[in-house]
Structure 1
Amino acid sequence: MTKKLDHDVIVCGGTLGIFFATYLQLRGHDVCVIEAGKLRGREQEWNISMDELDELVRLGVLDQDDVDAVVTTEFPACRSGFKNEEVTPLDGGYFDNGIGYECVTPDVLNLGVSPSILIERVSRRFASAGGTVLDSTPLRGICVSGSVGCAVDLGAGTSPLTARLVLDCMGNNSPISSQQRYGRKPDGVCAVVGSCAGGYDESTNKIGDIIYTLTPTVTRDGGGGRKGGSNQYFWEAFPVGIGRDGRTATDVKTTYMFTYMDAHADRISLFDLMEDYWKLLPAYQPSIRDPEKDLDIKRILFAYFPTYRDSPLRPMFSRVLAVGDASGIQSPLSFGGFGALTRHLGRVGGAISEALDSGCLHKDDLGEINSYQPNLAAAWMFQKAMSMKIGSRPNPVFVNRLLATNFQVMNEMGFRTIKPFLQDVVRLDGLAGSLTQSFIADPVFMPQIVATVGLPELVEWLGHVGNMAAYTVLDAAVSPVISPIVDRLRDPRKKFWWRRRMEAHLRPVLSFLYLQSLAWKYGSGADYVLPDEDKINLNLE
């Protein structure tokens, strides 16, 4: 007689895994979360948009009281700017002023939420639904039986836990994902440093910066036989603790400096990147002159985010699935984390729930959940354009000229074009329109783009864009026709596979009735609910 397993699902990694765990527990699955440390959120705010929080409410993971409790900072908008030197405010476009372009977009990353309150509230909902949390419980290993389940080793003196499925939510440095990739070097890296500090001018601490440059590309001499390299430095900043609707004056803000590059051994270190951050911070924030004397440093931040071209990561083992940053589902342009989770929780969580119900837990079945997404692959071109080859001496204004032109075009195309892009959703309509108009605005720039990016990479990218077009057509024209046919399939495995490839023709407001989360819609970016231009209210006073 087969022994009953302890749980349906074991989630490894609780900080973001608790969201997947709660979603699945609320759908009737028995879930256990194991966390190496204490299950709690950090002090540093997470920045997000209200529509992304609303998605968690729609999925039942949060309610409106939770949203009201976790939002500690709210401001109207974020600025995007690409400049060869710091000039604020800056009027006109790149070819008007010779410096760059800036614009302000409302309702994008304009909320700061308290991770500690958020994790505590979601954990409470998870426990009240019958879920189990084991914190201070490091993972030692997993033994998989394809026909029975998984046994999770929690160390000497502790009996293994068993489950039908293990979810790896241990982030970029997951040992499970590292084992699957066999120590392979990342194809790209986003390195970021920063700080949270008081001492800035309260009068200018009213909106955020989502992506901003104030210098041309910086080229370093490697020295000591190193090749050196070139990096474009980007900045990001968010007010902290200004309350709902920005009613509380504060001199505290978080500032980040980040750059994109490959993983070559001669690349800049996080230490040197931090040194450049302190040197350039007064130019970025003119209200201070000497960070050491003028700022009350509360936290220092530094990290790197590896990215892989073959993301999301398809499972190598049956009954083990990577989710969140461990799977590489985030855009190669973003830091991943909480924002990426909100977009994919409904799709991935719904697919996992159906996999459990139908017994589709073989690695081939689970691979359909982390399937190819052409819009994610297409985003690689943007990172490639902002990453300079090691040892090269690029035109120092290349990145600023490219981004200033593209952002001016997207901003002039309207909120429905620029907002999805800023939320890491690449859609065919916005991509095709912005590229066409950017070429018209700056046709002589195309040879530089080809030379910098490389012709083979450009051809590969065009293939992904073509697949985006195909996915868009399939989602709009084919999914509504074949959905009723798929619903009548008796074979649960065939039904599961087909549902991963399309989505029932239901608007998001109705999708709680019948959650189908499938590749065509997400792979084309068609899952993104476009904002209503008529309801935009940007008030920076």
Structure 2
Amino acid sequence: IYAGGTLSLLHAAVMARQYTRKVLVFDRHTPAQSTRDWNISHVELLKLADTGVFSASELDSVILRTYKTGWVEFYKPDGSQKRLYIQNVLDCAVDADLLLSMARDAVLSIPENRVLSQTSFTACYRFTDHIVVEVTDSEGKSYYYRAKVLVDMMGVRSPVAMQLNEGAPQTHVCPTVGTIASGFMDADFDTGEILASIAPADISSGTGKQFIWEGFPAKGNEYITYLFFYDEVDSKNDKSLLGLFETYFRTLPEYKKIGSDFRIHRPVYGIIPAYFHDGFSRTREIADDRIILFGDAASLGSPLTFCGFGSLVRNLHHLTADLDLALESNMLSKRDLEKISAYEPNVASMANLMKYMCFNAETDEPNFVNDLMNEVMVVLDELPERYRQAMFRDEMKIEELVIVMLRVAWRYPKVLKATWDKLGVAGSVGFVKNLAGWAFSSAR
């Protein structure tokens, strides 16, 4: 049984079609409909063809647009910022709903499978040889379904993840809002703007926020723009999506020129979760007896680049094969299931860099995040192209990250004080633990 009906459909489709498992997917809204559209590299997307569920031509049909190049740029008051161009990174805009619909159809192509809409998770009850999931439909009527295992993919607000992690399923978040719109006067339809800041941090309230934009062409004359920021979950900042939408519409004309024919086709939004693993390996709870968490419910992806969709695609083969083996062997205890995860030691280590992008007016100068990231872009520009591609694909090797960090520290010594301010003793020790775990892992 899958709780949640977006990314879960990709996993369920593989379990149903490749491993002939009987599956039930339910969602409190409408399955196969996402509140965001996705970007991924073409090479990564085509990995879905290896599952046998999708053909290469079907995957090509979900690509709304392929970009020739992408760039990253962080604001400098004097205009001296470095625009870093990156090839073959997040260069495909994907029609999320079309891909999910194809996965849903693959699930339903087997008569015994079911996909339920307007169905909410209520509770689950574990027994020795099965689990019972209680759900409620739109009229408030309760139903009970029995399964071997519950796959929780209810996202960042999952009540199961909340309970397993003692009310603290994330340490950091990235609230994200935007629109799919048309009528921009300066949209470049051949280029993806992967990260773009246009001003210093906003220090008008809370501890301050460094807003970052993202812009990608979609189908036809449509263009996707996102506004987001990184933050600690317990900061004083307003992290509501409604509040962020207000900032988005107020500042959008500063990012893109709006023409007289400007039109919004639909909003896009979400909260990207992150978790700091204070140890040599994964420390977040992602499983219990007959319960396993994937996607944003597990919060194991990188909030910097390769978010939930990319993380699931990259790990889909072993997440499905390993779960099938666990089902076949009846190895469904917490100890067994927590071995099946999308945890990657390199991603966990790289996620520490997000802490430097969480602005804090008490310790940071207004342009600190921009200044630091600009130095990172300069360093990456001086290094072979594989360094920038690896960083923005979450494929960096530990020795490559060390080279980048040392060069940034040499160019921008303020990062040493920032490390103390941002990470402190405990956080710095945790970062070292992550690096050590990465260095001695098989994923090095």
Is the TM value for this pair above 0.5? yes
Match of 2:82 among 95, 101, 113: 101
Shift of 1:101: 1.1
Which amino acid in structure 2 is aligned with residue 308 of structure 1?
Y
Q: What is the DSSP-based 3-state SS (H/G/I as helix, E as strand, rest coil) of the residue aligned with 1:348?
A: helix
SS in 2 for 1:142: strand
Cα distance between partner residues in 2 of 1:131 and 1:414: 52
Cα distance, 1:260–1:42 mapped onto 2, change above 3 Å: closer
Cα 1:269–1:162 change in 2 (3 A) is closer
Instruction: Indicate which of 456, 459, 476 corresponds to 2:429.
Output: 459
| Equivalent residues of 2:134, 2:145 under 8 A apart | yes
What displacement does 1:237 show? 0.5
8 Å Cα contact 1:218-1:232 kept in structure 2:
yes
Structure 1 residues 441 and 241: alpha-carbon distance in aligned structure 2, compared to 1, 3 A threshold:
same
SS at match of 1:347: helix
Note if 1:438 corresponds to 2:438. no
SS for the counterpart of 2:270 is strand
The offset of 1:130, in angstroms, is 5.3
Structure 2 partner of 1:419: 389
CA shift, 1:162, in A, is 1.4
Q: Deviations over 1:240-285 (max 9, x none)?
A: 214xxxxxxx2x3111111111123631343443333233322222
Indicate conservation of the 8 Å contact 2:49/2:55, yes or no.
yes
Structure-to-structure mapping, 1:210-229, within 5 angstroms:
210-220=194-204, 222=205, 228-229=206-207
Which one of the candidate residues 54, 65, 83 is aligned to 1:73? 65
Q: Structure 2 vs 1, CA of residues 205 and 427 (structure 1 numbering), >3 Å: closer, same or farther?
A: same
- What displacement does 1:330 show? 1.2
**How much has 1:50 moved relative to structure 2?**
0.8
Residue 29, structure 1, aligned to residue 21, structure 2:
yes
Q: Secondary structure at the match of 2:258?
A: coil
**Contact 2:47–2:313, Cα closer than 8 Å, also in 1:** yes
Give the letter for the 2:103 counterpart.
V
1:163 is matched with 147
Q: Does the alignment pair 1:207 with 2:180?
A: no
Distance 1:444 1:317 in 2: 43
Give yes or no for contact 2:302–2:347 (8 Å, CA) kept in 1.
Answer: yes
Measure, in 1, the Cα distance between the counterparts of 2:399 and 2:55.
33
Amino acid at match of 2:195: I
- Alignment partners' CA distance in 2, 1:100 and 1:203: 20
Q: In structure 2, how many angstroms separate the alpha carbons of the residues matched to 1:268 and 1:432?
A: 34
Q: Is 1:153 aligned to residue 153 of structure 2?
A: no
1:238 equivalent among 216, 224, 233 = 216
Counterpart position of 1:257: 227
**CA-CA distance at 1:43 after TM superposition:** 8.0
SS of residue matched to 1:218 = coil
Once the two structures are aligned, what percentage of the paired residues are identical? 25
Residue deviations 1:358-383, cap 9 Å, x none? 22101111122248643233233211
**3-state SS, counterpart of residue 140 of structure 1:** strand
Q: Which residue of 2 aligns with 1:514?
A: none
Alpha-carbon contact 1:13-1:36 (below 8 Å) kept: yes
Gaps of 5+ in 1: 1-9, 88-98, 223-227, 243-249, 476-520, 525-541
**1:376 maps onto 2:350 in alignment:** no
What is the CA deviation profile of residues 303-325 of structure 1, one whole-angstrom value per residue up to 9, with x for unaligned ones?
33343324674345301101111
2:110 is aligned with 1:139: no
Alignment partners' CA distance in 2, 1:448 and 1:43: 35
Counterpart contact for 1:384–1:453, Cα < 8 Å: yes
Structure 1 residues 170, 445: CA separation in 2 closer, same or farther (over 3 Å shift)? closer
Deviations 1:419-442 (A, max 9, x none): 232123443132122122223333
Native 8 Å contact 1:428 1:465 kept in 2? yes
Contact 1:235–1:256 under 8 Å retained in 2: yes
Could you say if the C-alpha distance between residues 414 and 179 of structure 1 is closer, same or farther in structure 2, counting changes exceeding 3 Å? same
Residues 357 and 453 (structure 1), Cα distance of their counterparts in 2 relative to 1, 3 Å cut: same
Structure 2 match to 1:402? 372
Which deviations, in whole Å up to 9, do the C-alpha atoms of 1:134-186 show, x marking residues without a partner? 312333321111x3111122348665221111111111111211222232374
What letter corresponds to residue 233 of structure 1 in structure 2? F
Partner of 2:93: 112
Q: Secondary structure at the match of 1:65?
A: helix
Aligned to 1:56: 48
Alignment match, 1:363: 334
Amino acid at match of 1:303: G
- The alpha-carbon distance between structure 1 residues 379 and 206, as it changes in their structure 2 partners (threshold 3 A), is same
**Is the Cα contact below 8 Å between 1:186 and 1:263 reproduced in 2?**
yes
Contact 2:36 2:269 survives alignment (8 Å) = no
Q: Structure 2: how far apart are the matches of 1:175 and 1:444? A: 40
Structure 2 Cα separation of the partners of residues 265 and 315 of structure 1: 24
Cα contact 2:36–2:270 (8 A) shared by 1: no
In the alignment, which residue of structure 2 is the partner of 1:322?
Answer: 293
* C-alpha contact 2:35 2:268 (8 A) present in aligned 1: no
Separation in 2 of the partners of 1:410 and 1:39? 41
| Contact 1:428–1:468, Cα closer than 8 Å, also in 2 | yes
The answer to whether structure 1 residue 187 and structure 2 residue 171 are counterparts is yes
Distance 1:340 1:139 in 2: 24
Distance 1:315 1:189, change over 3 A: closer
What stretches of structure 2 of length at least 5 have no aligned partner?
Answer: none
Cα pair distance change 1:413/1:112, threshold 3 Å: same
For 1:258, the aligned partner's letter is F
State the SS of the aligned residue for 2:288: coil
Report the Cα distance in structure 2 between the residues aligned to 1:60 and 1:319, rounded to whole angstroms: 27
Q: Which range is displaced more, 206-215 or 124-133?
A: 124-133
SS class of match (1:154): strand
The answer (yes or no) to whether the contact 2:288–2:337 under 8 Å persists in 1 is: no
Correspondence 1:385 to 2:356: yes
Q: Does the 8 Å contact 1:188/1:260 carry over to 2?
A: yes
The count of aligned residue pairs is 434
User: What do the CA deviations read for 1:305-349 (whole angstroms, capped 9, x no partner)?
Assistant: 343324674345301101111111211335833222111212222
Name the SS of the counterpart of 2:54 in structure 1.
coil
Closer/same/farther in 2, CA of residues 335 and 261 from structure 1, 3 Å limit: farther
Structure 2 residue matching 1:160: 3-state secondary structure: strand
In the TM superposition, what is the alpha-carbon distance from 1:79 to its structure 2 partner? Answer: 1.0
Q: Partner of 1:232: helix, strand, or coil?
A: coil
Superposition RMSD on alpha carbons, in Å?
2.6
- 1:411–1:360 distance in 2 versus 1, CA, 3 Å: farther
User: For each residue in 1:435-489, what CA deviation from the matched residue of structure 2 results, as whole angstroms up to 9, or x when unmatched?
Assistant: 2222333346533443444343223212211221111xxx3xxxxxxxxxxxxxx
Letter of the 2:387 partner, please give it.
Answer: T
| d(CA) in 2 for partners of 1:150, 1:459 | 39
| 1:176 aligns with one of 160, 163, 168 | 160
Q: In the TM superposition, what is the alpha-carbon distance from 1:81 to its structure 2 partner?
A: 0.6
Superposition TM-score, scaled by structure 2 size? 0.89
* Change beyond 3 A, Cα 1:345–1:203: closer
